[in-house]
Structure 1
Amino acid sequence: MTDHAAPPCNRVVIYSKKPAEIARFYGELFGYRVITKDGDRIMELQPPNNGLILMLHPAGKGQKQGQSLIKLVFDVKDVDLFRQKLIEQGHAIGPVHQADGYQFANFRDPSGNPVSISSRAFVSD
């Protein structure tokens, strides 16, 4: 019997009418590097580590911005400190919320997609 392990999810497509702004946003805030190929409409954002690859795709005329049913969550050890850095850079970000042993704060990217910074990944069992 052949072993068919479940494949990992390593990429997410973000549809945007502002791909250059989105690339700059994720690059400046989270260290993503832009990869483009001649003739390809998709702009690929590579993370600085082995994280999730973001693929920016031009939004169609009928697609509403910020109406996604997903939220990108970035793992940070110190939510308060990272949030303060975002505020100093001029980004609007919500308050820090206390959850079950961790903190998180929510905001939106330039296309209105929900984004969160969270310390959940650093909670010890």
Structure 2
Amino acid sequence: MTNHAAPSCNRIVLYSKKPEDTVRFYADLFGYRAITKDGDRIIELQPPNGGLILLLHPASKGQKAGQSLIKLVFDVKDVGLFQQKLIAQGHAIGPVHEADGYQFANFRDPSGNPVSISSRAFASG
């Protein structure tokens, strides 16, 4: 990868079957502010003084609450380029998905934990 800063992990996806309760929990206890966009299933929770951003995503029927329902999200400007770098290094990674003004691709770490690369942090609007 040329002329790109190393990706940083500034967001975690939390899967939730009770998003309203989860928003209230983090807002009331830790001062997080909920941000939503029309047509986006993700509720972004921003901390009051910087720090880790929480992305609440609806949990699927097969996901069990309380059992590692998180995904590490690494910010990259060019998801496709980074995806190609991972493929060249022999990593299995899913396709690049288009979301609300940004892209992302999913894969797993060696222990099977879900990881994502995403340009959401660089999306305008």
TM-score scaled by structure 2?
Answer: 0.52
* Residues 14 and 69, structure 2, Cα contact 8 Å, conserved in 1: no
Q: Which runs of 5 or more structure 1 residues have no equivalent in the other structure?
A: 71-125
Aligned residue for 1:36?
36
Task: Report what 2:18 is aligned to.
Answer: 18
SS of residue matched to 2:55: strand
* CA deviations over 1:18-73 (Å, ceiling 9, x no partner): 01100000000000000000111100001001110000000000000000176xxx
Other structure's SS at 2:9 match? coil
Q: Max radius of gyration: which structure? A: 1
Q: Identify the structure with the greater strand proportion.
A: 2
Q: Quote the offset at 1:6 in angstroms.
A: 1.6
Unaligned runs of 5+ in 2: 71-125
CA distance in 1, matches of 2:20, 2:69: 22
User: 1:7 deviation in Å?
Assistant: 1.6
1:1-125 equivalence runs, <5 A: 2-68=2-68
Aligned to 2:8, the other structure's residue is in SS state coil
The root-mean-square deviation of aligned C-alpha atoms, in Å, is: 1.8
Alignment partners' CA distance in 2, 1:69 and 1:25: 17
Show structure 1 runs of 4+ deviating over 6 A: none
Identity over aligned pairs, percent: 77
Partner of 2:102: none
